[in-house]
Amino acid sequence: MNTELIQYLKDFITPRRYELINQVLSKRTRHIAVVLENLYQSHNASAVVRSCDCFGVQDIHVIEKENEFAFNKEIALGASRWTTLHVYKAQEKPLEEVLLSLKNKGYSLVATSLRDDTIPINELPIDQKIALCFGTEIEGLSDEFYEQVDYRVKIPMHGFTQSFNVSVSVALCLYELIEKLHHSGINWHLSEQEQEELRLEWMTKSAQNGEKLVERFMLNRSK
């Protein structure tokens, strides 16, 4: 049915838009994901979402504790429409459950750190799926979270200031890992089914009154 619906929606978006959707899908990945714990600064949240879209990372996992995840639309530039946000409220889904779920899906949990037990980001193995984990601007990841990670990495710095803004850290890590991934022999692409599901979702969002068009298609198909 998705295939039929995609063909139907093609009449309501431009050929250029359809081509762009397919180009973006060809570079999309779930081999790398980003995990944010308790991040509350809207400008940082917005920049992270924007970086994920720009680097082709589809999934962002957000763990809300004291702070609600919010972003500034002017900074995000609509990137939240094209990425998948998984939001977990701590009181409903404990941290241990979220992290176990990611590990069960094959992800290694990776945290940036200034501590001594780290390796440079460019030495991180990428054969297994990677969940890059970041905390708040000042405190970083909670100790409870930090103890669960599989790798601790550092971004080389050569100045007096030994820390980056969290959104900058995300962008730098993604740039390093995506470049490494694209030059590897790893199959990091989305499956055909995943591409079809996102193609349909993005086409619906791209078409004017897209959701109503989908409703009309489903109604006509059921007759």
- 65 in any annotated domain: yes
- 100 in any annotated domain: yes
- 140 in any annotated domain: yes
Statement: residue 76 has pLDDT above 60: no
Q: Under 8 Å CB-to-CB from 66, ≥6 apart: which residues?
A: 38, 40
Higher pLDDT, 117 or 49: 49
pLDDT digits (tens, 9 = 90+) for 152-189: 999 888 887 777 888 999 999 999 999 999 999 999 99
The residue type found at 221 is R
Q: What is the CATH number of the domain that holds 83?
A: 3.40.1280.10
pLDDT digits (tens, 9 = 90+) for 6-45: 999 999 999 999 999 999 999 999 999 999 988 877 778 8
- Tell me the residue range of the domain where 84 lies: 30-189
Q: What is the pLDDT of residue 74?
A: 56
- Pairing status of strand 84-89 against strand 107-112: unpaired
pLDDT digits (tens, 9 = 90+) for 97-124: 899 999 999 999 999 887 778 899 999 9
- 215 in any annotated domain: no
- 19 in any annotated domain: no
Statement: residue 95 has pLDDT above 70: yes
Which of these, 121, 128, 120, lies nearest to 30 by C-alpha position?
Answer: 128
CA distance 40 to 150: 25
Tell me how many domains the chain contains. 1
- 184 in any annotated domain: yes
- 222 in any annotated domain: no
- 88 in any annotated domain: yes
Residues 101, 106, 108: CA angle, nearest 5 degrees? 90
Average pLDDT value for residue range 195-221: 92
